[in-house]
Amino acid sequence: MRTRLLFFISLMLALGTPTTWLAAAPAAQRSAADSVKVFSLADLLAYVTLRHPVARQAALLPEQALQEVRFARGMFDPTATSKYYGKTFGGKEYFHDWDTQLRVPLWFGADIKAGFERGTGPYVNPENYTAPGGLSYIGISVPLTQGLLMDERRAAVRQAQALRGLAEAERRGALNKLVLQAAKDYWEWSLNYQRLELLRQNTDLAAVRLRAVRERVRQGDLAAIDSVEALTELLNRRAAQVQSEVQWRNATLLLSNYLWDEQSRPVELPATARPQALPTTWPELPVDSVAALAALARQVHPDVLKSQAKLTQLGVERRLLSNKLLPKLSVDYNLLQAGSPFNPETPVSLGGRYLPNNYKLGVSFAYPLLLRQERSKLQLNRLKLLDTELGLQQTTRVVETTVRTVANDWAALREQLALQEQVVENADRLRRGEQIRFESGESSVFLLNSREASLVSARTKLAELQAKYAQTQATLRWAAGGE
């Protein structure tokens, strides 16, 4: 009787109370948190969003798009040109032809220009001949049909501006995928730690039981075969623990892939780093939250925004191609003044006879008779628009469905977690009952080990559901398009 009492006391010291053993893994994590550094999910995401190469690559996309806009706006930069041609041969002077111009493009398609030209010499082209003082001018060039409402310069700027939205959507999409995968791998890391702690405690318990069974065998209270049963169980549990340790180390290495320092050098998690505990509370989604998340995803999801940006670009292209169907008709008018702009020989008088007598006027007209190229380009653009619109409809539907699917997983996991908690409690009751039967001689080491194995399996299943629940939280945020 004394031997049985000693065995029961030693076993209870190893097991703890039922409540303590049920919460063994969280307690182990709390004690570990006191002695080692807890590497939380927030710490990991801070590393990922600020230092991961993929995140840094994604951050380059908006800057590239900004430079594209700057490049397109460069088509509206003022341009200063100057050219001089002169000829002297055999000591004889033929001509001197000089033309300097400043041209300023305007947004609505016209160009304002001002310049000074001087053509002298006995053999200068009569068209370019001026008085010795030269000729200054100011004028405007205006397209009256094609190019008045839309031209290549304005189209390039509008498309580059749409590219900024596309680049931002691509940045968010790349970063969201990276953050989602990092969160999933983090909770897998936490699950492996939880599983390892459970198996360590299970192995320690088997070692205590083996010592107690051997003592009872020596006292003649149990058969020798029971010690073989206890030893076999201990070896099996140690083998499972070794496998779990390998999985834990591999999960740690996988998580280290997300860690980089400020100099873009890889960083590894220290051996003492431990994850935060798996979630122990599982709040329910509000009634209207799924519809709200679906509506939010239709507005901010990166895939939807990319399709909308492509539609904007194609819309700008359609306006340009439609304008190409018009004939080319432009007017070029220059107001002339003798002498340089700063030293005119004749002052400008708009109210007198100067304006109608001192000007240079040009009109140009061109129109392809069949318009086959223009009409085919416009038709191709319409097909691209239709294709992108259909793609946007499909993308929007997929995004909404994904949000609702993840929300369904959320609700199902909450129910599974509640049921699994009851499974753990019942498994613990069975284990305690089997322990009492064993102490009274009505059970065996084999049956007691089976009950303990069922309890460990139930707790492991609960930890897996907790990790999956945490991963589902991250997936729902990704599905809604959040960054």
**pLDDT, tens digit (0-9, with 9 covering 90-100), for 241-268:** 999 999 999 999 999 999 998 888 999 9
Instruction: Report the amino acid identity of residue 259.
Output: L
β-strands 343-344, 328-340: how paired?
antiparallel
Domain boundaries, the chain: 2-70+155-219+272-312+386-479, 79-152+327-370
Q: What is the pLDDT of residue 278?
A: 93
Instruction: Report the amino acid identity of residue 32.
Output: A
Q: What is the pLDDT of residue 313?
A: 93
Query: Can you read off the two tokens belonging to residue 36?
Result: 């080692």
Q: Which residues contact 52 (CB under 8 A, 6 or more apart)?
A: 178, 258, 260
For 156, phi then psi, to 5°, come to -65, -40
**CA–CA separation, 436 vs 443, rounded Å?**
9
Question: First vs last Cα of the chain: how many Å apart?
Answer: 66
Superfamily of domain 2-70+155-219+272-312+386-479: Outer membrane efflux proteins (OEP) (1.20.1600.10)
Could you give the percent of the chain with pLDDT greater than 90?
Answer: 63
pTM of the model: 0.80
At 444, the pLDDT band (50, 70, 90 cuts) reads: confident
pLDDT (mean) for 77-106 = 92
CB 340 within 8 A of CB 133: yes
Q: What is the pLDDT of residue 306?
A: 93
Average pLDDT of the chain to the nearest whole number:
86
pLDDT (mean) for 359-367 = 91
Query: Can you read off the two tokens belonging to residue 17?
Result: 């109370």
**CA–CA separation, 320 vs 314, rounded Å?**
10
